Amino acid sequence: MKENLLDKIDKANVPKHIAIIMDGNGRWAKSRGEERTFGHKNAISAVRNAIAACAKAEVDYLTLYTFSTENWNRPEDEVSALMTLLSESLIKESDELMSKEIRMHVIGEIDKLPDLVKEQLLNVVEVTKGNSKTNLVLALSYGSQREILNAVKHIAQEVKDGNLTIDAIDEKVIESHLYTKNIPPVDLLVRTSGEIRISNFLLWQIAYAELQFLDIYWPDFSEEDLFQCILNYQNKERRFGKTSEQIIN
Ligand code: IPE
Ligand code: IPE
Ligand code: MG
């Protein structure tokens, strides 16, 4: 079944950049009478599924919303359990990233992360930088409004210093000041858990993304789910403001 869905994907029209809001770990655990942290632990295999599926489908960029700027406001023990899990996973999964030739990147305010986690992250980014298959982008301590705010401050500083004129500020200049400079815009955004909201994720970058909301909790996410999302995406006509006739001709 897995291979069937993959075979149905048109390799010439695979989304270049898929972004996923991995939501529903807590509810997944609760529905089993377990603590929220149990859900986070069981989220790792779903992350593995998403990465493996993107590698098989030859997706260039996969961005995973792993921890938001707002998630710092969760109870201290949950935040600390998430940081420990992240740290353990970075150690356990780095061989897997190497064997799949996956290059890892990080976006967000990583200076806010515990020193050890930051060190491990930068280490995996460094070790995998020669890999040339799927780019895995972890959004950590990430908030889109903060990202845009920081870009505005940097641009204002450049104008103040006389290195940039106001007239020269365009979309490209803004993009070059986002964490995602050098990363293409999002083609397909997926959110699990049934919530239909963006939660401060990649607001600029999803301007023309196709959005898909799945009624499953993140720990249940499978490779087939990702293949199905790509197939749904391939049935959409992306018009970018033009008419259907213009697109067909
Ligand atoms: C997503 O699952 C993981 C993070 C936000 C870190 P949640 O922890 O948000 O799970 P729910 O949405 O409460 O079920
Ligand atoms: C979004 O999920 C953040 C991540 C998946 C990392 P949340 O569970 O934090 O989002 P809200 O608060 O329900 O919108
Ligand atoms: Mg949630």
> Model pTM?
0.98
Q: 25 pLDDT band (50/70/90 cuts)?
A: very high
Distance of CA 57 to the CA centre of its chain: 16
Mind listing the pLDDT tens digit for each residue in 76-119? 999 999 999 999 999 999 999 999 999 999 999 999 999 999 99
DSSP annotation of 222: -
Q: For residue 207, with 0-12 CB atoms within 10 Å meaning exposed, 13-18 middle and 19 or more buried, which class applies?
A: exposed
DSSP annotation of 201: S
Distance of CA 8 to the CA centre of its chain: 24
Distance 144 CA to ligand 2 centre (A): 13
Distance 26 CA to ligand 1 centre (A): 5
Mind listing the pLDDT tens digit for each residue in 104-161? 999 999 999 999 999 999 999 999 999 999 999 999 999 999 999 999 999 999 999 9
153 lines ligand 2 (CB under 6 A): no
What are the sequence ranges of the domains in the chain?
14-143+185-236
Cβ burial 157-185 (10 Å sphere, 16+ → b, else e) = ebeeeeebeeeebeeeeebebbbbeebeb
Active site residue 7: no
Mean of all residue pLDDT scores within the chain: 97
Q: What angle do CA 115, 117, 119 make, to 5 degrees?
A: 65
Q: Exactly one of 71, 123, 131, 150 is catalytic; name it.
A: 71
Report the pLDDT value the prediction gives residue 233, as an integer from 0 to 100: 98
Tell me: pLDDT of 1 over 80: no
Active site residue 170: no
Homologous superfamily of domain range 14-143+185-236: Decaprenyl diphosphate synthase-like (3.40.1180.10)
Tell me: pLDDT of 2 over 60: no
141 lines ligand 1 (CB under 6 A): no
Q: Which atom of ligand 2 is nearest to the CA of 197?
A: 14
26 lines ligand 1 (CB under 6 A): yes
Mind listing the pLDDT tens digit for each residue in 178-237? 999 999 999 999 999 999 999 999 999 999 999 999 999 999 999 999 999 999 999 999
Token pair recorded at residue 201? 């994720």
Report the pLDDT value the prediction gives residue 3, as an integer from 0 to 100: 59
